[in-house]
Structure 1
């Protein structure tokens, strides 16, 4: 054999041995190192899971009274796989279901369509899951309707009846709490993609409010029975059987009786505004415990029935939830509504004035108007009060004295050419109270509000400069008026500057300043507590089904405003004067509990959908009792008119509920917290629901309840 032949043979043998080595290496990797992975994959192909959803934990009030709980119920679902095989694509079957449950066929059709099957502008009520899972149509169906379907299955192919836990809202003392509790819904494809949580198709999960914030605790662990099947789908054996584990309970700081009273007071305030000729389109109310930050009650108006998500949301209901004509009931105004705080903000301005060196015990001019540049700023109703003490100026809500102080400070800071070391006392005072920041409440989708300081003005200018500098080309024809063109010219030249008018409006809570009702409640809690304020908390504790505490939520200090005690003392005196001899004196006349607060009537610019000018926003921010502050109470009514006559009366009604006031006397048996807000964790009492909800005859797992 020649040398060349021997070399070729060696190369060939080396190649063969290399391939064999690679082959055996791969086999070793697949059969030894990765055997568990591929065994599971093989089993998954021939296995079928039967998932039993866990009983979701209850959400209770501070006393352990259930506000939302899983109860046995019958759910009617649509199997799209079966429906789509019908010659008419299920039209006849869906029509029969609609007739049986007195629903509109269009609603039934819409709710059984995948969202991707519908136009983007018409997806209200669509199904977020897949066609391979039952689509819930009616929750809490009656036994008669369920039997009608089950006994006539040939008449209703693809219509399924199942007994499952249904999220129920017993409303034992008339509370609604919809925006706080939130709602649950079926697992979506997006949920299933979450690598951190192992969801199953037929689970329900939190979608908003406390339900989503504490979903990991409330959810529980679903039960799973895994069967191995052959290629004919015949079960060969049971591979595993994991029992469902019920979710933990969430005890909140909400008091159900107080919540019910706050909701009624808020609704009455909105209706009172309307009766006075104002639009009164919405409102919010908040009650905080001052020394812990616990949210004892929080209401939003308009609200909605929280059970609609479980009963089956119609297309109209879905549209109404976000309809401006209906007041957007889905919006949680205490933490998502942004409004100018108006004169309630003067408490913050007092802190700014003290920091700037203005004597708080001095007297100041309160003229009818103040001329600043080429603009005239009017006092409320253009009324002059002469030279008055500052505390009286707070009590009667004089605007013009603040115009002068704010303008003087603006000039000292350099005006349109600000000093590099501008004091910005007003902006800094607002920042110390958290304006423009999140409160950190344990609820999703909170909005920050707006602190229109120099940085905000610069950011706004950079975002809008191009529009204003090309206003004539970019604006609508209807907006090409001489006045708006001049404003656009000014914004193009120096829209990033804090102008005198900006500073003046800021001092009285107008202009670009926006806060949520929750933030304002936190501000007044800080004032009552000499500068220390807490992060608002709805959750009190997580407990398991046996009552064992899993997590105890302790109060969290958000910040502490370090200023002279004399400034707090002045504020306390002034805010009490508002109620005794100022703008709220008539509202609280004869009230047996001493409270302190501030009215606010905020001007709103813009038009309603019908073209009418927007009415003023009504505010009342307060704390009480004055000598030993325990609660901060705030109410806001959008387009509600005057602060005192709309929201002031509403806040008085809330205090009446808190302290058991009947007429001008206190009924000790009706006081909500006779010994103070409970400091211990309550026991969850689900028996209270059984006393009110009749479950007789309801089947759970094939067994009738007695």
Structure 2
């Protein structure tokens, strides 16, 4: 008996309906395709005349950077940029060969190189080549002179496809003024676009300094020029445009006049020290408002001109700035350099000694000419002795090293007893140093790699350093420095390497004694020292130093205020800080080291300060002065309006180099030889009025044979006509090792 599923008929019916539906759809599609391709009378005309839109980015002019009185530090200026439109050239019988042959000598370059510049990059097209859109006019020369503008404009018929555009570029009216804190810009690279998809090839991005840290504020919003393209991708006209919006204005705490004063004083003192036979290769000066943490000036020598980076620095010029013999002009010593502070560190030692109970502010303690520590003799400067016990005030004034050695050795001994009993050391001196900001990241509003953290020696850091460098120590001890010609120096280095090989992990009592006078493994930047002394002056508030003060929009309206943050309150009573500060007020009798440099100046008794003379192995001494003022005799140090720190490498004692430099800065601040460089001889307290911007935000051609838009773009080799390519994006010079080799047991 057979059985038939009654549902099979319904299945076949549904399949038949589905087949009919699919067939109808295919027939309709084929019929429409045949009509469009074979019978539509308008189709050929539509195909021939079809166009589509392309887009060219119109980069926004960057915002300005102004000083604390509203004066422009980084602004904008109009310049002429010459572009070549490949689309227009390709429409000519010779593909523009004659135009390029006429243009090349006007620009001082070869026609073949010019052709390379405007050829779109590809797998078979080596650099230099054009990285932008194929239909986009290619900039081949910027900041062109009037002669070239005239030659092209007056003979436009000879240069079809060539345009001269008025465009906005960065301008540095002060030249090298404040270069290290302002920074420089560069073109956008692939890595930048991966990190920020909103960036276009034609954009300019901050590469260092404030330009980098406030890039999102300064960059603005790009505009857009629509271009009509034919089926071949050639530009045949322009369409709607969206204008670019210029970036906001960054208001800084830098005072341009104080900055210029600091740079001039530093430069002149370095030259004066060199005339006295000192190497004095570099230096720095910092002027700070101790009551706010705002930096008023940060000078470094040597320096550079950031305008060299506008439009892309040539490879040759970049190599000059980064060559071994250039002395690292891109490094801002005031903030990125780290150096042994010498006796300027005694602010911290004094604070530790009093707060730990090792000394009292009115007690008297020994100051011998020398002291034996770890079997080695440590001496005062020139083995000075002052005939008996002295108090803290006098110890600071004459900078007696042995006065500060003794408490540091006692601290080490107490800590070693703790270690021997299985406990952790307190390391109070190191803790106090960190509280003042030593060996701590400053947190300034600059890129992190442009701020020195500094260092301080302790048991943990010594062990870590030994583990990392033991192999080098032992290898050096075994080799014996055969390249060192001086036998005494060679023997010393070999002994030092041998000690480091076996005992480099040990932190001795002598190391702690060295720390107490700012030697050994201790290093700070001039900025860190200025921040520490500012905390002393203001009664104990350690600020995170800042350069930015506010942001204003295109209408000059303040839209953001940048307020310095409090890092911590020092673990030191205001009375102790006041005692230390008031002990160092300059007097006519020269009892305070550094006062001698102010002889003959009417402001001598208005200034206070602590000199430092830091020994650096293999080099001459680093000269320091950390100072504050003006303070009338009898007034408390908290009345000081400024903290000024000066440092010159390999220039001798603090009193002989740094102090004369700082004197010049104060004489300008207080108006000794004319009007004070700042009104009222005090830092600005209110933000300035910012002038509203009135720049044109879209480039416009002044002479063109091109049919496409003429918005600015940036070629990978746009500056070739004035010297070659440019440094790779993000290729700011790496910070060199500017740390001096402190005295003490460490790697030679």
**1:598 maps to what in 2?**
610
**1:461 maps to what in 2?**
466
CA contact 1:139–1:312 (8 Å) conserved in 2: no
Larger deviation: 161-170 or 433-442?
161-170
**1:645 maps to what in 2?**
656
Determine whether 1:673 maps to 2:685: no
Determine whether 1:141 maps to 2:144: yes
Determine whether 1:497 maps to 2:506: yes
CA contact 2:557–2:690 (8 Å) conserved in 1: no
Identify unmatched segments of 5+ residues in structure 2.
26-50, 704-748
- Distance of aligned partners of 1:52 and 1:186 in 2 relative to their CA distance in 1, 3 Å threshold: same
Instruction: Give the C-alpha shift of residue 240 in structure 1.
Output: 5.0
Larger deviation: 533-542 or 234-243?
234-243
Instruction: Give the C-alpha shift of residue 131 in structure 1.
Output: 10
**1:198 maps to what in 2?**
198
Instruction: Give the C-alpha shift of residue 349 in structure 1.
Output: 0.5
Residue from 665, 672, 683 that aligns with 1:654: 665
**1:340 maps to what in 2?**
340
CA distance in 2, matches of 1:448, 1:137: 43
Determine whether 1:547 maps to 2:550: no
Highest RCO, 1 vs 2 (Cα 8 Å, sep ≥ 6): 2
Secondary structure at 2:410 match in 1: helix
CA distance in 1, matches of 2:532, 2:245: 42
**2:58 maps to what in 1?**
52
CA distance in 1, matches of 2:268, 2:152: 44
Secondary structure at 2:623 match in 1: strand
Secondary structure at 1:680 match in 2: coil
Instruction: Give the C-alpha shift of residue 521 in structure 1.
Output: 0.5
**2:724 maps to what in 1?**
none
Identify unmatched segments of 5+ residues in structure 1.
25-44, 607-613
Instruction: Give the C-alpha shift of residue 178 in structure 1.
Output: 1.0
**1:376 maps to what in 2?**
377
Secondary structure at 1:632 match in 2: strand
- Distance of aligned partners of 1:572 and 1:75 in 2 relative to their CA distance in 1, 3 Å threshold: same
Instruction: Give the C-alpha shift of residue 156 in structure 1.
Output: 8.9
CA contact 1:66–1:685 (8 Å) conserved in 2: no
Instruction: Give the C-alpha shift of residue 148 in structure 1.
Output: 3.4
CA contact 1:65–1:685 (8 Å) conserved in 2: no
- Distance of aligned partners of 1:542 and 1:412 in 2 relative to their CA distance in 1, 3 Å threshold: same
Secondary structure at 2:270 match in 1: helix
Secondary structure at 2:365 match in 1: strand
Deviations 1:564-621 (A, max 9, x none): 3331132012221588522212112343341111111111124xxxxxxx22111111
Report how many residues are paired: 644
Determine whether 1:242 maps to 2:242: yes
**1:582 maps to what in 2?**
592
- Distance of aligned partners of 1:401 and 1:76 in 2 relative to their CA distance in 1, 3 Å threshold: farther
Deviations 1:245-272 (A, max 9, x none): 1221111111111111111011112112
State the superposition RMSD in angstroms: 4.4
Secondary structure at 2:542 match in 1: strand
Determine whether 1:63 maps to 2:69: yes
- Distance of aligned partners of 1:157 and 1:473 in 2 relative to their CA distance in 1, 3 Å threshold: farther
Q: After TM superposition, list the pairs within 5 Å mapping 1:464-613 onto structure 2.
A: 464-468=469-473, 477-478=482-483, 483-576=492-585, 580-593=590-603, 594-606=606-618
Larger deviation: 507-516 or 572-581?
572-581
Residue from 382, 398, 401 that aligns with 2:400: 398
CA distance in 1, matches of 2:642, 2:306: 28
Secondary structure at 2:595 match in 1: coil
CA contact 2:462–2:506 (8 Å) conserved in 1: yes
Instruction: Give the C-alpha shift of residue 233 in structure 1.
Output: 3.1
**1:27 maps to what in 2?**
none
Instruction: Give the C-alpha shift of residue 273 in structure 1.
Output: 1.4
Deviations 1:106-147 (A, max 9, x none): 9x999x999x99x9xxx9xx9996797888675432221233
Instruction: Give the C-alpha shift of residue 458 in structure 1.
Output: 2.6
Secondary structure at 1:670 match in 2: coil
CA contact 1:352–1:425 (8 Å) conserved in 2: yes
CA contact 2:80–2:143 (8 Å) conserved in 1: yes
Instruction: Give the C-alpha shift of residue 323 in structure 1.
Output: 3.0
Deviations 1:463-483 (A, max 9, x none): 223444565678865489665
CA contact 2:474–2:498 (8 Å) conserved in 1: yes
CA contact 1:137–1:312 (8 Å) conserved in 2: no
Larger deviation: 227-236 or 421-430?
227-236
Secondary structure at 1:202 match in 2: coil
Residue from 627, 630, 638 that aligns with 1:625: 630
Instruction: Give the C-alpha shift of residue 517 in structure 1.
Output: 0.8
Determine whether 1:441 maps to 2:449: no
TM-score in terms of structure 2 length = 0.76
- Distance of aligned partners of 1:496 and 1:390 in 2 relative to their CA distance in 1, 3 Å threshold: same
Larger deviation: 461-470 or 258-267?
461-470
Instruction: Give the C-alpha shift of residue 150 in structure 1.
Output: 5.9
Secondary structure at 2:181 match in 1: helix
CA distance in 1, matches of 2:200, 2:300: 33
**2:36 maps to what in 1?**
none
- Distance of aligned partners of 1:183 and 1:674 in 2 relative to their CA distance in 1, 3 Å threshold: same
Instruction: Give the C-alpha shift of residue 286 in structure 1.
Output: 0.7
CA distance in 1, matches of 2:406, 2:107: 67
Asked which structure has the greater CA Rg, the reply is: 2
CA distance in 2, matches of 1:158, 1:274: 56
Secondary structure at 1:307 match in 2: helix
- Distance of aligned partners of 1:519 and 1:160 in 2 relative to their CA distance in 1, 3 Å threshold: farther
CA distance in 1, matches of 2:427, 2:561: 41
CA distance in 1, matches of 2:466, 2:297: 39
CA distance in 2, matches of 1:127, 1:501: 62
Secondary structure at 2:684 match in 1: coil
CA distance in 2, matches of 1:512, 1:157: 67
CA contact 1:600–1:642 (8 Å) conserved in 2: yes
Secondary structure at 1:193 match in 2: helix
